[in-house]
Amino acid sequence: MRPRAVTGAGPKLSNSRFGEPMVAATARSRKTAQMRRLLIQAVIIIALVAIVWSTYTTAQTNLNALGITGGYAFLERATGWSYSFSLIPRSVDDTYLRTLTIGFINTLFLGTLCIVLSTIIGFAVGSIRDTSNLALQTIASVYVQLFRNLPLILQLVFWYAVFIHLPGPRQAYALGEIVLFSNRGLMLPALNISGQTALILLLGSIALGVIVLFARITAMRALFVWASATVLAIAVSLLMFVPEGEPIASVPTLKGLRFQGGMQMTIELVAMIVAIVLYSSAYIAEVVRGGLAEVPRGLIEAGQALGLSGRTIWSRIKLPMALRSIIPPLGNQWIFVMKATTIGVAIGFSDLFMIVSTSLTQTGQTLELIAILMGAFLLINFALAQFVNVINRRMQLKSH
Amino acid sequence: MLKTLAKLTVAALAASVPVMVSAAEPAPTTQKIIDRGTLLCTGHNGSFFGFVEVNDRNEWKGLDIDMCRGLATAILGDSDKVQIVPLSWAQRFPALQSGDVDLIIKATTWTMGRDTELGLQFSIPYFLGAAQFMAHAELGVTEAAELDGGTICVEAGTTIERIAGDFLSSNNIEHTMVSYEKGAELRAAYLAKRCDAFAGWGPNLAVIRATEVDDSGAHVILSDQLSTDPISAAMRQGDEEFVDLVNYLIAALIKAEELGITSENVNEIAANPPSTTVARLLGSDPGMGERLGLRDTWAREVIAEIGNFGQMYDRNLGKDSPYNLPRGLNALWKDGGVLYTPIID
Amino acid sequence: MEATRRRAFATPADTVISVIVFGLLFYILWLVIDWAFVRAVWSADAVDQCKVDSIGACWSVIDARHRLILFGLYPFEEHWRSTAACASIIATVVLSCMPAFWSSRRLITLWIVGFAAYYLLMEGSLIGLPQVTTDQWGGLSLTLFLFSSVVLLGMPMGLGLALMRRSNMPVVRLTATLIIDFVRSLPLLTTLFTAAVILPILLPEWLQGDKIWRVILAFALFFACYQAEVFRGGFQAIPKGQWEAGKALGLGQWTTLFDIILPQVFRHALPATINMVVLTFKETAIVIIIGFFEMLASAGAAFGTGEWVPYYLEVYVFVGLIYWVFIFSLGQYGEYLKNRMKVDHR
């Protein structure tokens, strides 16, 4: 861990200069140094090319020996298997392309939902930890220390084990006969539109949100534009897509072996959300607390001297100041949440990783499928990082 | 000079007709196993009762494990020289491709897709079982059509996953399918009533019903037979001799039962073979081993170690096991089953 | 006492909140104590009592199966070796938290000795004990093995990547940046899965090695890529003048780096490094998915059979407690160091 022993660990970096300014030296020694630098870089490039080439040929021979034909033709074939959760209609006759797309949508859907929920809860818990009331502080600390210090996957299998031992659908816990919770999942009343329409609405709303964020208008106006447009879009789609003579909203009811109507969140999805949100919100709470603690006391005292109310000080001074140091680590946590969805495979939630892993056994197209998986995550993370950058920039702009 | 040339020519000829000379040489996979000194065989991530399970002493046992031990005896002469690699269903084929295991002996169904697209080769089947549904008795269902609207649990990456999906959709039975990577999770989910029914492989369902549940009347195995799955060992393509070896190991185990050779009497019979077939099989007459690149006495050692197929069945699944599964289709052809062997001549 | 009163009961509103919240907390605490202690069954022989409805926790399952949870499939007679090996890793971690060990040579020696002791004890054949191959390692001892080897391998790798990233040779810098950004964008599970399942197809046979070592190397790479960023932060905190001071003293580049710069980098990076170490310990649980028999997997096996099936809650609580104690205490230690260093700066 300390300097000496690591000398042996990095032979390939001999003579890099770690970015400190070059010493004034004789022209000759500078020239030798220059040559050496070129040589090292050339060797690295050659080594990289050699590695890529040799893995490529090894893969070719290995796959040929196994009689596997590569390529993406399998994407057009029907899968013949099913899985637990999808937002859009699915059947066993779907192609691999459609099935993988569904996995991608599931990952995005779960990730987005968890990001929103854990950010809200995280801000709440973090702010509570920052209050002066000892009791509130204690309960918030217990929350953070409990959920942050256990492996996420342990929490996931724990909640899943608890949830599947809930009563069955016929004895479901009911809240006013419209919200039902059983070992099959959480059943909520919902607008009477198809999952596909709902998904398009959701995506449209997210896209609009991003556009509004980029636009050079104040945050309040942006929020107003976004909220009103979203409500309008929902109203229009209700008018257009609700079948004749059916109510606008539907309520889950038990029919035979399962519930019909309403929105049904399978118990796997519920367990994923609960586990990820608890874990991640505890992290975010720490980030928020750290951010709030860094706001200089003088600023708050200045606010008090001006006779501002506690709420105004919080929303106009503390939070905006704190947000600037909160946003970068918060962005990292969002990316973590997206990546954390992959553990769905442990409880049978059909996220992208699980779909890829099953496809892999059923088709044997190992390299192609893992490339798709990696590509998808690079895409998600890149997009999310850009999004965080935009928010960050807006925060910085406002302060100037 | 001429001599060298002649030698080279002979060598080249020999190299160009490997089929003719390779019989005495061990197959590449066999050679690898001999060099390594252990056989890498498939286990399960948890227990797949009767076939692959972990006992209280943390040791592996089961029908498939016995097959692995038999193969290790045949190749290495020691049934302990087998390393069981725990794998989920979904990981078994990638693990075979990557060389983490030498072969798959893990209740694996012989399918065309696997044979052609996955680059596998299958041995002759050593077991036959049907995919079926097991449901909670309190639902009052007796056939699959009544599962309409229900939730079906299944293990991910298995043939059952596809067979059940196919069956349900072709019969227009609406359903939600939940698939799990681990058998233990599937069992836990089913017993917790997360699912109405459990799509599985008949013998395994019967075993679970017999053991996991206090009251075996609480579960019904539905009458529909979704498929008949021939269970084989799966190997990498391109090593025919290794496939031969596994085939004749299975054949020897079945043949031994047919001929009444058991682990108790094998040495007596070998000393005093009643027929030439028996003499050849047990290595009393030479020739059997060489053709597979093994010792002549390999079959005798295997039978002495793990018994014949009937003994293996009784010990792991049948009357000497807690599951007490009847032989059914998995009896010898002469007892009304489907097990038969090639002629061992 | 006075401080507590002021913080909990300052205003009437505060008092109401405090009473309600503390009341709730104590109620929950009581429920837990009642379940875990008052109404609990403790011994494996008394498992029949667990079926009574009014009974609380059934710790019989732990009594009967704790060896499986702690040591996995390790041969029963050799469990003392697993115990000793776990103790050596825990001692290593505890000792490296003590300032007395905070010199490069001592820390390195400590970790290598601790790790070697673990390996020799567990494997056995090198010191004349019966050999136990890695496929039989499991439970807590496997978790600790994964954790310590990832940290031990990942730390120099991370430093290497950090130095590469600071190089003034564009190719070196670019390579490091590419590796770091790529690995950090992928979920850990994807990286490990690739190492376990995909890599053998890409590598010639002599390079493949054992599955567990492939996974450990991939995990170490993951650790290194995050740790490289931690080190980078440490490097940025060192004023440029330090390099020039080294030069003025006539020291070579490498001497300046190792004797002057790096010790300071480590000091700056220490709290963040501890965070990474804690995170790594937590994330080891994920290898359950790629088929290793670590603590979480053996916990699943502990209530997987026969009479123990209903007592999953007790097993998860037991395992959770082990993880929690380890992670919480390391985390608190990191906090303490951070605060101490803040004080140092003032």
Nearest to C187 among A18, A20, A377 (CB): A377
What CA–CA distance (Å, rounded) separates B102 from B39?
7
pLDDT in tens, C284-332: 999 988 888 889 888 888 887 667 778 888 999 999 999 999 999 999 9
| Cross-strand bridge partners of residue B180 | B155
Q: What is the structure's pLDDT at B187?
A: 83
- What band does A148 get if pLDDT is binned at 50, 70 and 90? very high
Q: Tell me the pLDDT of chain C averaged across its residues.
A: 86
Where in chain B are the domains? 128-229
Q: What is the CATH number of the domain that holds C109?
A: 1.10.3720.10
Contact between chains at A151 and C201 (C-beta distance less than 8 A): no
What CA–CA distance (Å, rounded) separates C302 from C62?
8
For CA atoms A110, A116, A117, A121, the dihedral sign is: positive
Instruction: Tell me the mean pLDDT in the region B231-243.
Output: 91
Q: Tell me the percentage of chain C whose pLDDT exceeds 90.
A: 37
Residue ranges of alpha helices (H) inside chain A are 3-6, 27-66, 96-130, 134-148, 152-164, 195-214, 219-241, 267-294, 297-305, 310-312, 319-340, 352-363, 366-399
Q: What is the structure's pLDDT at A61?
A: 83
User: Amino acid identity, residue C11?
Assistant: T
Nearest to A360 among B94, B166, B177 (CB): B94
What CA–CA distance (Å, rounded) separates A295 from A292?
6
- What band does A236 get if pLDDT is binned at 50, 70 and 90? confident
Q: What is the structure's pLDDT at B14?
A: 46
Contact between chains at A132 and C10 (C-beta distance less than 8 A): yes
Residues 22-41 (A) with a CB less than 8 A from some CB of B: none
pLDDT in tens, A73-86: 889 888 888 888 88
Six-digit token string for A94:
């779907």
Six-digit token string for C69:
């949870």
Query: What stretches of B43-191 adopt beta strand conformation (E)?
Result: 53-54, 60-61, 82-85, 104-109, 120-122, 127-136, 150-155, 175-180
> How many CA atoms within 13 Å lie on the side-chain side of C163?
24
Q: What is the structure's pLDDT at C174?
A: 92
* Domain membership flag for residue C57: no
Supply angle C-alpha B262, B265, B271, rounded to 5: 125
With contact defined as 3+ CB pairs under 8 Å, the chains touching C are: A, B
pLDDT in tens, A259-284: 677 777 889 999 999 999 999 999 99
* Domain membership flag for residue C24: no
Contact between chains at A164 and B193 (C-beta distance less than 8 A): yes
What residues contact B1, with CB distance under 8 A and at least 6 apart? none
Q: What is the structure's pLDDT at A32?
A: 85
Q: What is the structure's pLDDT at B215?
A: 65
Instruction: Tell me the mean pLDDT in the region C86-115.
Output: 88
Instruction: Please name the helix (run of DSSP H) or strand (run of DSSP E) that holds residue A174, with its range, or none.
Output: strand A173-175
pLDDT at B209 > cutoff 70: yes
Residue A364: exposure state from Cβ atoms within 10 A (0-12, 13-18, ≥19): buried
User: How many Cβ contacts (< 8 angstroms) between chains A and C?
Assistant: 220
pLDDT at A116 > cutoff 60: yes
Six-digit token string for C93:
């971690």
- What band does A14 get if pLDDT is binned at 50, 70 and 90? very low
With tokens 């205003």, the residue in question is C11
Q: Tell me the percentage of chain B whose pLDDT exceeds 70.
A: 90
Establish if C11 touches chain A: CB-CB under 8 angstroms.
no
Q: What is the structure's pLDDT at A257?
A: 65
What top-level class would CATH report for the domain B128-229? Answer: alpha beta
**Among A152, A196, A186, A151, CA closest to A166:** A186
pLDDT at A241 > cutoff 70: yes
- What band does A1 get if pLDDT is binned at 50, 70 and 90? very low
Establish if A265 touches chain B: CB-CB under 8 angstroms.
no
DSSP labels, C95-121: HHTSGGG-SHHHHHHHHHHHHHHHHHH
What CA–CA distance (Å, rounded) separates B58 from B51?
15
**Among A330, A358, A334, A333, CA closest to A344:** A358
- What's the structural domain count of chain C? 1
Q: Tell me the percentage of chain A whose pLDDT exceeds 70.
A: 88
**Among C215, C220, C224, C200, CA closest to C134:** C215
User: Amino acid identity, residue B18?
Assistant: P
Six-digit token string for C220:
């170490």
- What is the pTM for the complete model shown? 0.82
* Chain A residues near residue C203 by CB distance under 8 angstroms: 55, 58
Is pLDDT larger for residue A71 or for residue B45? A71
Q: What is the structure's pLDDT at B56?
A: 61
**What are the angstrom distances between the C-alpha of C242 and each of C236, C260, C345?**
12, 8, 18
Where in chain A are the domains? 18-66, 96-189+251-399
Of A15-29, A77-91, B214-228, least confident by mean pLDDT is A15-29
Contact between chains at B194 and A357 (C-beta distance less than 8 A): no
pLDDT in tens, B246-305: 999 999 999 999 999 999 999 999 888 888 888 888 988 888 888 888 888 999 999 999
Six-digit token string for B127:
């077991």
With tokens 């790798």, the residue in question is C157
Residue A235: exposure state from Cβ atoms within 10 A (0-12, 13-18, ≥19): exposed
Contact between chains at C202 and A150 (C-beta distance less than 8 A): no
Of A50-59, B290-299, B306-315, C206-215, least confident by mean pLDDT is C206-215
Test the C interface: residue of A7, A17, A20 with most C CBs within 10 Å: A20
pLDDT in tens, A336-366: 999 999 999 989 899 999 999 989 888 878 8
pLDDT in tens, C162-219: 999 988 889 999 999 999 999 999 999 999 999 988 888 888 777 777 788 999 999 9
Q: Which residues of B47-83 are buried (b: 16+ CB within 10 A; e: fewer)?
A: bbbbbbbbeeebebbbbbbbbbbbbbbbbbeebebbb
Looking at the complex, report in whole angstroms how far the Cα of residue B316 sits from the nearest Cα belonging to chain C.
Answer: 17
Looking at the complex, report in whole angstroms how far the Cα of residue A159 sits from the nearest Cα belonging to chain B.
Answer: 13
Q: What is the structure's pLDDT at B88?
A: 78
What CA–CA distance (Å, rounded) separates C294 from C138?
5
Test the C interface: residue of B100, B186, B190, B323 with most C CBs within 10 Å: B100
Q: Tell me the pLDDT of chain B averaged across its residues.
A: 84
Q: Tell me the percentage of chain B whose pLDDT exceeds 90.
A: 28
User: B83: nearest CA in chain C?
Assistant: C135
* Domain membership flag for residue C287: yes
Establish if A360 touches chain B: CB-CB under 8 angstroms.
yes
For CA atoms A342, A348, A354, A357, the dihedral sign is: positive
**Among A331, A329, A328, A306, CA closest to A317:** A306
* A77 touches A95 (CB < 8 A): yes
* Chain A residues near residue C24 by CB distance under 8 angstroms: 139
Instruction: Tell me the mean pLDDT in the region C2-20.
Output: 77
Residues 34-53 (C) with a CB less than 8 A from some CB of A: none
What CA–CA distance (Å, rounded) separates A156 from A165?
14
> No. of H helices and E strands in chain B?
15, 12
DSSP letter (8 states) at residue C326: H
Residue A170: exposure state from Cβ atoms within 10 A (0-12, 13-18, ≥19): exposed
Test the C interface: residue of B32, B56, B57, B58 with most C CBs within 10 Å: B58
User: How many Cβ contacts (< 8 angstroms) between chains A and B?
Assistant: 129
Residues 260-289 (C) with a CB less than 8 A from some CB of A: 261-263, 266, 282-286, 288-289
Is pLDDT larger for residue B206 or for residue C53? B206
Instruction: Kindly list the residues of chain C whose beta carbon comes within 8 Å of any beta carbon in chain B.
Output: 68, 72-76, 133, 135-136, 197-201, 205, 208, 211, 289-291, 293, 297, 300-301, 304-306, 309, 312
pLDDT at B15 > cutoff 60: no
Six-digit token string for A216:
């050079």
With tokens 């269970």, the residue in question is B231
pLDDT at A298 > cutoff 80: yes
**Among A258, A237, A256, CA closest to A194:** A237
Q: What is the structure's pLDDT at A16?
A: 42
Q: What is the structure's pLDDT at C177?
A: 93
Q: What is the structure's pLDDT at A258?
A: 66
Residue A200: exposure state from Cβ atoms within 10 A (0-12, 13-18, ≥19): middle
User: A372: nearest CA in chain C?
Assistant: C190
Of A134-148, A357-371, C57-71, C300-314, least confident by mean pLDDT is C300-314
- What band does C56 get if pLDDT is binned at 50, 70 and 90? confident
Is pLDDT larger for residue B45 or for residue A133? A133
Nearest to C200 among B85, B100, B211 (CB): B100
Contact between chains at A41 and C169 (C-beta distance less than 8 A): yes
Q: What is the structure's pLDDT at B25?
A: 63
**Among B102, B127, B94, B105, CA closest to B44:** B105
* Domain membership flag for residue C44: no
**What are the angstrom distances between the C-alpha of B256 and each of B68, B249, B264, B266, B290?**
17, 10, 12, 9, 20
Nearest to C201 among B54, B98, B182 (CB): B98
Q: What is the structure's pLDDT at A198?
A: 78
DSSP letter (8 states) at residue C270: H
Please give, one letter per residue, the 3-state secondary structure of A232-284.
Answer: HHHHHHHHHHCCCCCCCEECCEEECCEEECCEEEEHHHHHHHHHHHHHHHHHH
What CA–CA distance (Å, rounded) separates B188 from B174?
23
Q: What is the structure's pLDDT at B216?
A: 62
> How many CA atoms within 13 Å lie on the side-chain side of B60?
26
Nearest to C291 among B88, B184, B185 (CB): B88
With contact defined as 3+ CB pairs under 8 Å, the chains touching B are: A, C
Six-digit token string for B240:
């025919």
pLDDT in tens, C114-168: 999 999 999 888 888 888 888 788 899 999 999 999 999 999 999 999 999 988 8
Nearest to A4 among C105, C155, C289 (CB): C105
- What band does B13 get if pLDDT is binned at 50, 70 and 90? very low
Name the CA dihedral angle for B121, B126, B131, B132, rounded to a multiple of 10 degrees: -170
- What band does A46 get if pLDDT is binned at 50, 70 and 90? very high
Instruction: Tell me the mean pLDDT in the region B204-226.
Output: 77
With tokens 């990638």, the residue in question is B94
Contact between chains at C323 and A149 (C-beta distance less than 8 A): yes
The dihedrals phi and psi of A46, each to the nearest 5 degrees, come to -60, -45
Residue ranges of alpha helices (H) inside chain C are 2-8, 12-33, 60-71, 79-96, 104-123, 139-166, 170-185, 188-193, 199-202, 205-208, 211-236, 241-248, 253-255, 262-283, 295-302, 312-345
Residue C118: exposure state from Cβ atoms within 10 A (0-12, 13-18, ≥19): buried
Q: What is the structure's pLDDT at C344?
A: 60
DSSP letter (8 states) at residue C130: P
What residues contact C150, with CB distance under 8 A and at least 6 apart? C216, C219, C220, C223, C280, C284
Residue C341 lies in domain: 76-345
Instruction: Tell me the mean pLDDT in the region B143-147.
Output: 86
- What band does B67 get if pLDDT is binned at 50, 70 and 90? very high
Contact between chains at B90 and A268 (C-beta distance less than 8 A): no
| Overall fold of domain A96-189+251-399 | MetI-like fold (1.10.3720)
Q: How far is CA B338 from the centre of its chain?
A: 15
Instruction: Please name the helix (run of DSSP H) or strand (run of DSSP E) that holds residue B189, with its range, or none.
Output: helix B183-191
Q: What is the structure's pLDDT at A19?
A: 47
Contact between chains at A353 and C187 (C-beta distance less than 8 A): yes
Q: Tell me the pLDDT of chain A averaged across its residues.
A: 83
